[in-house]
Amino acid sequence: MIYSKINATGSYLPERILSNKDLEKSLDTTDEWIVSRTGIKERHIIGDDETTSDMAYKAALDALKSSTINPSEIDLIIVATTTPDKVFPSTACSVQNKLNIGECPAFDIQAVCSGFIYALSIADKFIKTGAKKNILVIGADAMSRITDYTDRSNAILWGDGAGAVILTATDKPGILSTHIHSEGKYESMLHVPRSNNPSKKDTIEMQGNQVFKMAVNTLDRIVDETLNANNLMKSDIDWLVPHQANIRILEATAKKLEMPMDKVVVTLDKHGNTSAASIPLALDYGVKSGKIKSGETILMEAFGGGFTWGSALIKY
């Protein structure tokens, strides 16, 4: 049987750091208030001369540096992003050009914070059917560019960055299963509506309390779905690598798994919510810090605007 396995991970974070103390200068808020409600202490902000594809490219280079394959062996590029460089072409095509990889297919996936899980699920199918052998999957978002920094409830949450993985075909178990869902009727709870005023920036609007409740309940269900699909018990999961949205959501999922927080990879405090980038950034941190080791079982899960949600169970 053909499996897709993570060959390498990579990440990139912009140089500029926006701390809670910085936000205190322009918003009616405090570091203590932000940390107590979100767990976030700081976040990285994309440079004025940077693009989403620049971040994605640098994360891809980092993954390729750790991998056992050459760039020319990549036969598909998928980028999960909510903040593409342009209306078209896709951010993935821009990354392909920057990597100087010719002719392989490249496309974007838009599922907001669940985007990386969606992209991973698609890539897994390409490999399991034998259609592709080495796939570059990237989550990259510049959320600061769609954030209203006069809105206290939103400005404190978002950060920018990119994370990447290289999936390779193998005969050893890697991605055990993926599960993706959406429910469009809730779109107005978390969205970026288009403005008819050309002088007005399109920015995130969120009904925070309702989104929080939906996220906790939905992620509870996706945990059960994933465990049942693989005939596993909660104790079989070695690591939780979740979307980094809010520390209380992470704690609720860990409680559902009866897992101590020291088995949850947390980057939220340093990165904020980087949307599609958050899971691959957290995974790369978990791997490079030595926390996650070969042969361990990892559960990834995410919830985002749409609503979209999903999970991936992986043997690393």
Mention every residue, 6+ apart, whose C-beta is less than 8 A from residue 239: 263, 264, 265, 286, 291, 292, 296, 297, 298, 299
* In the predicted structure, residue 178 carries a pLDDT above the cut 80: yes
pLDDT tens digits, one per residue of 90-100: 999 999 999 99
pLDDT of 271: 98
Q: pLDDT confidence of 199, banded at 50, 70, 90? A: confident
The domain defined by 3-170 folds into: Peroxisomal Thiolase; Chain A, domain 1 (3.40.47)
Contact between 29 and 304 under an 8 Å Cβ cutoff? The reply is: no
> pTM of the predicted model, to two decimals?
0.97
* 12 DSSP β-pair partners: 162
DSSP code at position 184: G
pLDDT of 187: 95
pLDDT tens digits, one per residue of 123-138: 999 999 999 999 999 9
Q: What is the mean pLDDT of residues 220-235?
A: 97
Domain extents for the chain?
Answer: 3-170, 175-315
Q: pLDDT confidence of 2, banded at 50, 70, 90? A: very high
The CATH classification number of 175-315 equals: 3.40.47.10
Q: Is there a shared CATH topology between the 3-170 domain and the 175-315 domain?
A: yes
β-sheet with 175-182: strand ranges across: 175-182, 308-315, 297-304, 239-242
Residues designated as active site: 113, 243, 273
pLDDT tens digits, one per residue of 234-258: 999 999 999 999 999 999 999 999 9
Task: For strands 16-19 and 134-142, give the pairing.
Answer: unpaired
